[in-house]
Structure 1
Amino acid sequence: MTLPPLVEPGAELSREEVNRYSRHLLIPNMGVTGQRRLKNARVLVIGAGGLGSPTLLYLAAAGVGTLGVIDFDRVDESNLQRQVIHTVDSVGELKVESARQAIARLNPLVKVITHSDRLEPGIAVELFSRYDLILDGTDNFATRYLVNDACILANKPYVWGSIFRFEGQASVFWENAPDGRGLNYRDLYPEPPPPELAPSCAEGGVLGVLCAAIASIMATEAIKLLVGIGDPLLGRLMVYDALDMNYRELPIRRLPKRAAITALSDYQSFCGLNRPSLADHSSVPLISALQLKSLRDGGKAPVIIDVREQTEWDIVRIEGALLMPRSADVAQQILERFGHDTELVITCKSGMRSQAVSSDLRKLGLDKVRNLDGGVLAWVRDVEPALPTY
């Protein structure tokens, strides 16, 4: 069911634009008028990461006149496996600046507006109001709910995508859609999952090319909405399984008795992320990587238990550590294996999962347990920088 185009046609196309976009102009549903709508469009892409990278490139190539991109992060070497807008030369740069330069090389006719701030409730609604369409490629639930609610308050449609390991999802949300199909992200996910059940790509991994598959859907939906062609994914969830090479479409229904969104809220708390820092957990003593090294060098090394997954362990580990992946009963397993009197140091990637396991061990009466502050990443940074990281 086609929706009205989001934008009016812009100025007449120049000779250069006709030459560049000629393959679009030959499509009956697009034509010159559709291309002029793209030229006049303003699209904000949230995140210049795995999904934002190919989406930005394709929207720029398609001739979207103004592209906004918001991301506070800098390019890291681990991004290059999937974030194709960035290169080796841009490692260490702000992602928005790296993206701006790449778009300029691809299509200098596109205006790029960079926002290097973290997206927060205080700026979201006003920022979104400057654009015709929002694209959300973020990787955490707190930001997804913020984007959803801010789009409702700003009366903006948005295209959403999500990726994890070998699976991706995409849909379109528009609370005030003119055809009455008013749906938003809370109709799909009324409540966020517990943080421990919602690992990011940095923790669980993602197949790099999966980003291109989902981003291409997002870019396609954006063009359809801007030009007013085709049937958008409003009310439909597209699920892609790369391993089975299978696309499934699931209907999304309006949640009965869904509360109206009238203001933004504390999304960190809503998603269970406002937990005390590790330093505030007085019940779980911390040990730094340098302190642990000093104990080992002095022949007083405690037993080091790594609660990460096997795939993480295969990338990098602390020599001599034991792998016992976190599970519902891992604390009981550790107790049965080492008893109450063994000096233990629990570690994971950054110290969060190990803190939870350490806390469980303390509840079982083990008082000789410490959590490695900063986890394996801190060990690599402070003790063995020659080791790989992830």
Structure 2
Amino acid sequence: MSIIQDFLRYNRQTMLPEIGDEGQGKLKKARVLVIGAGGLGCPILQYIATAGVGTIGIVDFDIIEIHNLHRQILYNEDQVGLPKTTTAKAMVEKLNPLIEVIAFDEKLTLDNASRIISQFDIVIDGSDNFSTRYLVNDTCVALGKTLVYGSILGFEGQLAVFNHQGSKNLRDLFPEPPNPKDAPNCSFNGVLGTLPGMIGTMMAHETLKLIIGLPNLRNELVLFKTLDWSFTKLKF
């Protein structure tokens, strides 16, 4: 029955010769951790789940608020006040009941980062602050885990893959985090709701490529400016 279910659900992507049954099998065996169930995390979770990533972890300690809803598209107004992790888990399981979803309703800290991240193959960082980004990066380096990185501000987004099969990591690009006073985020500067959807989908796409073994970003930072639709790829 499982083989039939898998075929019916995934056959539009297994038709691609670059994926096939072998690639779908890799997705099913993969264990992916998503840091943050917010603007980036919502589209990431939706697309890696519906593509068939077998085990997905979600880390967040926040609750759903009304101002989240314009961009955090897993949620609705009836869920305001509920924890993001358990709500996201329930929503993702409805999207694809064939996968396992693990919710970590806790803030990622020095004390728990290794315990949580060690359980997964690939980490996707959808966090919204530099202290978490550097903690995630440093833990992935220490544990030898691949990290998919993305960030957004205003009308612009960034995308990179760190620490994959000997590639460079966040500190090779930005050795130290900026002063918190000089580090704006969407809570104070705003963001158009479609931007995290685009960047989050790109992060999910790159993650699926990594799992399947398709060409991926290596020591490159993609800068995406949506006001003029310009892409810049920087090597580092």
Residue 179 of structure 2 aligns to which amino acid in structure 1? P
Within the candidate set 180, 187, 211, 1:202 is matched to 187
1:214 pairs, out of 187, 199, 203, with 199
* Alignment counterpart, residue 105 of structure 2, candidates 116, 119, 122: 116
Partner of 2:12: 23
The amino acid across from 2:63 in the alignment is R
- Residue aligned with 1:14, SS: helix
2:135 corresponds in structure 1 to 146
Q: 1:92, CA displacement in angstroms?
A: 0.6
What residue in structure 1 maps to residue 115 of structure 2?
A: 126
Distance, in Å, in 1 between the alignment partners of 2:72 and 2:173 is 27
Partner letter of residue 198 of structure 1?
A: A
Q: CA RMSD in A?
A: 1.2
Q: How far apart, in 2, do the equivalents of 1:95 and 1:215 lie?
A: 17
Q: Which residue of 1 aligns with 2:220?
A: 236
Aligned-partner Cα distance in 1 for 2:17–2:171: 36
TM-score after normalising by structure 2: 0.97
Distance in 2 between the 1:167 and 1:207 partners? 10
CA positional deviation for 1:85: 1.0
C-alpha distance in structure 2 between counterparts of 1:126 and 1:222, whole Å: 22
1:66 is aligned to 55
Letter in 1 for 2:193: G
Task: After TM superposition, list the pairs within 5 Å mapping 1:102-113 onto structure 2.
Answer: 102-113=91-102
Deviations 1:116-156 (A, max 9, x none): 01000111112111101000011111001000000011110
Separation (CA, whole Å) in 2 of partners of 1:198 and 1:108 = 39
Encode CA deviations 1:214-267: one digit per residue, 9 max, x unaligned.
11111111111111112x112010111111111111112xxxxxxxxxxxxxxx
Secondary structure at the counterpart of residue 34 of structure 2:
strand
**Range 164-173 or range 194-203, more displaced:** 194-203
Query: Is 1:193 equivalent to 2:187 in the alignment?
Result: no
CA–CA separation in structure 1 for the residues paired with 2:189 and 2:14: 42
Asked if 2 retains the 8 angstrom alpha-carbon contact of 1:77 and 1:88, the reply is yes
Match status 1:160 vs 2:154: no
Q: C-alpha offsets along residues 343-385 of structure 1, whole Å, 9 cap, x if unaligned?
A: xxxxxxxxxxxxxxxxxxxxxxxxxxxxxxxxxxxxxxxxxxx
Are the aligned partners of 1:148 and 1:185 in contact in 2 as well (CA < 8 Å)?
yes
Q: Structure 2 matches for 1:1-390, cutoff 5 A?
A: 14-174=3-163, 177-178=164-165, 180=166, 182-230=167-215, 232-252=216-236
Query: Bigger shift: 63-72 or 190-199?
Result: 190-199
Matched residue type, 1:87: N
Q: Which amino acid aligns with 1:202?
A: S
State which drifts further: 44-53 or 210-219. Answer: 210-219
Distance 1:142 1:104 in 2: 30
Distance in 2 of aligned mates of 1:226 and 1:100: 21
C-alpha contact (below 8 Å) 1:60/1:110 kept by paired residues: yes
Following TM superposition, the consecutive aligned residue runs of length 4 or more in structure 1 with deviations greater than 2 angstroms are none
AA at the equivalent of 1:136: D
Give the SS at the match of 2:172: helix
Unaligned regions of 5+ residues in structure 2, if any? none
Residue deviations 1:277-317 (CA, integer Å, cap 9, x gap): xxxxxxxxxxxxxxxxxxxxxxxxxxxxxxxxxxxxxxxxx
Paired residue type of 2:224: Y
Number of residue equivalences: 236
5+ residue gaps, structure 1, are 1-11, 253-390
Higher RCO by CA contacts (8 Å cutoff, separation 6 or greater): 2
